[in-house]
A = this chain, B = another copy of it.
Amino acid sequence: MAVQPRALNPQTLPAVSHTGYPEPYRTRVLPREVRAVGDALGLTRIGVNLVRVLPGKASSMRHWHTHEDEFVYVLEGELVLRTDAGEQILRAGMCAGFPAAAGDGHHLLNRSAAAAAFLVVSNREPEDTAHYSDPDVDLMWSPPQARGRMTRRDGTPC
């Protein structure tokens, strides 16, 4: 008998409002609703989350991954995608992809008056590090010398 269900309605999963970011980045994303869809289904090689971004909030600080591809599918509302290509509006039914090691940071901003939601799927790679693109965001995620931890760009703890 499987511990995890094979199928589910992701909206029924508990929503968590959490981030590893310190201030002042923390309040740029929180409060939010993250539902750990992949964990609930017993997936370990890919990560799947349903993320609901409130008006005025961002999905994350602008970043790119060294070893993880990221795929986003918008389910609800309207989000602004920021990358090196500029800004692009994504509406429900649109998707975006961020190849590992592309060096082009991305994030999604909710500048609308309503909540917006997306699915995000990545491969899970223990070697992965995330770099943050905006000059004012002094963060690094999971650098080689501090795996699974958020640090400053110089590797010191946050």
State the A residues within 8 Å of B (CB).
2, 4, 6-11, 37-38, 40-46, 48, 67-69, 71, 73, 81, 83-85, 88, 90, 93-100, 102, 104, 106, 119, 121-125
Contacts and interface: CB of A to CB of B under 8 A. Distances in A.
Contact of A6 (B2, B38, B46, B83): B83
**How often does this chain occur in the complex, in copies?**
2
A84 to B, nearest CB: 8
Contacts of A68: 45
B7 A94 contact: yes
A6 B96 contact: yes
B7 A88 contact: yes
Given A6-B81, A10-B95, A44-B100, 15 more contacts: A6-B83, A6-B85, A6-B104, A6-B106, A8-B96, A9-B93, A37-B95, A40-B97, A41-B71, A42-B97, A43-B97, A45-B100, A48-B121, A73-B119, A121-B121
